[in-house]
Amino acid sequence: MKTYTIYLFRHGLTKGNLNAQYIGHTDLPLTTDSISALRSIKARHHYPEVQAVFVSPLKRCIESADIMFPKNNPLVINDLIEYNFGEFEGCTAEDLKDNEDFKQWLRGDMHAKTPYGESNAEFFARVCSAFEKIVQGMIKSGTETAAIVGHAGVLMAILSCYGIPEAPMAHWQMEAGYGFKLRITPSLWMQANKLEVADTAPISAKKDETISAQETN
């Protein structure tokens, strides 16, 4: 049976990431060190060749995609933009530790909303709709391989909603420049809106396990 592969990769780091700030819609570029780090990952592990690349509209994703997939022309998907943190934008957890709205939002209630931002429910609905359109478009067009270069929150939301094995968002954390390989079987997708998280990427966790086993024998 024909399957489809989507790679999810987290963008490189910005100054805001390094400062542990909540950076959602603020359009920060990659740092010079992060550009070098992505190029180093690419040289060591090689990003896969894909037929299509989808990105958030923000610079950090577009710049990362240009490094990871220089042969592709990324397609910007506006609804893949990071969480709208509203008044929390640019703040750190330490800045907000006494903020009651922040405390309520951290509890994870789906309807908790950042002041002048979006709720968890709104975020998940937006991201899931965008992802489902990408998958449906791939199946309809016969595009067998694609990559999404996106934000940690967005990619973790996708994995927590659709991934098998099933796991909460926190389970799917990833470092900058790294991510996961997803395998989509049309019958499973159409029946249950689920997909297989097949491996890590760009380096395989299975390869890592083999190397570790060889080193200990």
Domain range list for the chain: 4-216
Which 8-state DSSP code applies to residue 77? Answer: -
Per-residue pLDDT of the chain (217 residues; tens, 9 = 90+): 799 999 999 999 999 999 999 999 999 999 999 999 999 999 999 999 999 999 999 999 999 999 999 999 999 999 999 999 999 999 999 999 999 999 999 988 888 899 999 999 999 999 999 999 999 999 999 999 999 999 999 999 999 999 999 999 999 999 999 999 999 999 999 999 999 999 999 999 876 543 343 333 4
Residue 194 in tokens? 């689920």
Q: What is the largest CA-CA distance in the chain?
A: 57
Alpha-carbon span 96 to 189, nearest angstrom: 40
Q: How many CB atoms lie within 10 A of CB 112?
A: 16
Model pLDDT, residue 207: 60
Predicted confidence at residue 1, as pLDDT, reads: 74
Are 5 and 144 in contact, with CB atoms under 8 Å apart?
Answer: yes
4-216 is a CATH 3.40.50.300 domain: no
pLDDT score at 108: 81
C-alpha–C-alpha distance, residues 109 and 88, integer Å: 17
Beta-carbon contacts of residue 44 (< 8 Å; ≥ 6 apart): 203
Residue 106 C-alpha from the chain's centroid: 20
Strands annotated E in the chain: 4-10, 52-55, 75-76, 145-150, 163-164, 179-184, 195-201
Give the three-class secondary structure for 25.
coil
pLDDT at 90: 98
The number of residues in the chain equals: 217
Rounded to 5°, the CA angle 201-217-199 comes to: 15
